[in-house]
Amino acid sequence: MMHKSHDFLSTPPVNIMKPGFMLARHRQSTRCSLFLALVLWSISAPIQAALDIEIFGGGASQIPIAITPFVGEEKLKHGITAVVAADLQRSGLFRLVDSSGPSLRDPRQIAYPDWKSRGANALVIGSAVMLPDGQVEVGFYLMDVAKQVQLTEYTMIVPADRLRAAAHQIADIIYEKLTGDVGVFSTRIAYVVKQGNKYALQVADADGFNAQSIIEYSEPIISPAWSPDGTQIAYVSFENKKPIVYVQTLATRARKVVANFKGSNSAPAWSPDGKRLAVVLSLQGGSQIFLVNADGSGLQRLSQSSGIDTEPNFSPDGQTIIFTSDRGGSPQIYRMAVTGSASGVAERLTFEGSYNVSPHHNRDGKGFTFIHRNGAKFNVAVQDLATRQVQLLTDSRFDESPSPAPNDRMILYATEVKGRGILAVVSSDGKTRQELSMQAGDVREPAWGPLPKTASRWQQR
C-alpha cells in the first residue's frame, strides 16, 4: 500500500537527490505503514557516507497533518516543505495528508471544509521569499482544521544556506505545538562507519544529512559520547594498538588524550556539567570505573568490585551513575552514588534474565534504556526507575548501543539486517521504527546529541 506522501515528495529539491542513488523500495506490511526512502549524501574523502532511511509501522494515534508547499520555495536553491514533512513523518506521530492543490500563503484563503474532508486535523501554509540582500524570509501558519483557528505563526530571516536548519526549526515548532513535547529535529547524531579496514566517526543531522567525518583511521573507534553542550565528542580509539579515550572539539578539530593509563581505557561518559568524565580503566586491575577531569587530570576511582564494572552513565542531576556490573555473577545494571571515594556499594536495578547491559538514562531522569538478552536475541528495553517495570521495545536479534533522543520519545540504536550493521530508531512506545543504513559498509555505535543551544531567531508575527 503506497502512501499518498509520494505525490507530495515528487518534486524534491535538486541538491538533495542525486540521480542514480534514488531508491524506490515498496514493501507491503500487515500494518498501515509509511514507506519513505530518502537518499542523503554527505561529504567525506575516503569514506562515503549516505544514510538511507526507511520507516516502518505507525502508532495508533497519529495526527493527520497537511503541509502545503511553501509559496516561493521553487525559486530557491533548497526547499523547506519536503524537509518539514519528512521530519514530522519520521517522528511516527504524524500522518501526512494529501496536500495537492493551489499553494496558499494567506490564512484567509483557507477552505477548511476541503481540508476536513481530506482527513486533516492540522494544516500548515507558508512562504519562503528571497530578500534583496540575498537572505530568505521564511514564514508559516499552523491552523487547527476542525476549529478553523490559527494555532501559531512564525517568521524568520535566514541566510540562503541555512534553509534546511530553518525547516528543522519549523518542524520543531509544529511538533511542540501539537504534541506538547520538545522537538528534536534540529539535533545531531554521531556514529561509527566501517568500510573495509577503514573506520570513521561521523556526525550528521538527525535526519542523516550533512554527515561529516570528524576522525578516520585504519583502527577501530568505539563509544562516542557527546559533551552536554554538544561542542565536543569523547571516543575510544585503537590507533595505538590499545584502547585510549580522546576528547575532540568539533569546531576546531583539536583533540586531547583524556585517558591513556597502563592497560585499557574506555567507556567515556560525561557528567551533566561537562567538567568530568567517567571512564573504565584496567589500571588497578580488572575493569573499574574512575572519574577524570575533562582535561585528563585528577583521576579518582569510583567503583570497587572484584568483577567487571563498565558502561557508566550519569543521571541528569549528576548525583548517581548507572552502570553494567557482573559482580553478582552475570552482567546486570546497577546504580551508585557519585561520591569522593571509591565504593563497593551499589543498588541492583535489573533482575530479569542473565544479561542486562548498556544503560543510558532518559533525559528526564525517570527511567533508562538498556539492552536485554532474551534467549538468543539482544533487544532494546526501557525501565521505569519508580515502578521498576521493564518494557521490551524491539524484537530483532542483535541490538546494541541504545541512545535516547533528548525528548526521550525515540531511541537510536545499532542493529543488523542481513549481516550488515545499520542504525535504527524506535519510538519509546515501541510502535514506530526506522532504519538508517549506509549504501556500503557497516554503521554502529550511535549517540544522539543534545538539544542545540542556538539563540532563537524566530519571532511570532
Partner 1 sequence: MKKVMSVLLIGLLSACASQTTQPTAESTPAARAETNPNLNPILTDPNNILSKRSVYFDYDSFVVKNEYRATVQAHAQYLRDNAAAKVLLQGNADERGSREYNLALGQKRADSVRSAMTLSGAKDSQIEAVSLGEEKPRATGHDEASWTENRRTDIRYQGE
Applying CB under 8 A, the residues found at the interface with partner 1 are 15, 18-19, 43-45, 200, 212-217, 220, 222-223, 237-243, 248, 253, 255, 262-264, 266-267, 280, 282, 285-287, 308, 310-311, 324, 331, 355, 357-358, 371, 373, 378, 398, 400-401, 419, 445
Residue type, 106: D
Q: Which of 282, 258, 255 is nearest to 268 (CA)?
A: 258
CB of 282 to partner 1, least distance (A): 5
Q: Are 102 and 150 in contact (CB under 8 A)?
A: no
Shortest Cβ distance from residue 172 to partner 1 (Å)? 26
How far, in Å, CA of 415 to CA of 318, rounded?
A: 30
Give the chain's radius of gyration (CA, Å): 23
* Of 142, 34, 45, residue with least CA distance to 92: 34
Q: HSE on the CB side for 408, CA within 13 Å?
A: 16
Residue 287 or 407 with smaller CB distance to partner 1: 287
Question: Least distance (Å) from partner 1 to the CB of residue 331?
Answer: 6
Separation of CA 128 from chain center: 28
Nearer to partner 1, 177 or 242 (CB): 242
In the complex with partner 1, the residue whose CB is nearer, 18 or 388, is 18
Give the nearer residue to partner 1 in terms of CB position, either 165 or 233.
233
- Shortest separation between residue 43's beta carbon and partner 1, angstroms: 4
Residue among 112 and 238 whose Cβ is closer to partner 1: 238
| Measured distance CA(1)–CA(129) in Å, rounded | 36
Least distance CB 269 / partner 1 (angstroms): 10
Angle between helix 81-90 and 163-179 (nearest 10): 40
Strands (E), 220-328: 221-226, 232-237, 244-249, 255-259, 265-270, 276-281, 288-293, 300-301, 309-314, 320-325
Number of Cβ within a 10 Å radius of residue 457: 11
Nearer to partner 1 among residue 60 and residue 251 (C-beta): 251
CB of 303 to partner 1, least distance (A): 12
Within a 10 A sphere around the Cβ of 166, how many other Cβ atoms? 24
Residues 447, 450, 451, CA angle at the centre, nearest 5°? 140
| Residue 198 beta carbon to partner 1: minimum distance, rounded to whole angstroms | 10
Question: Considering the complex, what minimum distance in angstroms separates the CB of residue 390 from partner 1?
Answer: 17
Which triple of cell numbers denotes residue 168?
A: 528543522
Beta carbon nearer to partner 1, 240 or 389 = 240
Based on CB atoms, which residue is closest to partner 1, 127 or 324?
A: 324
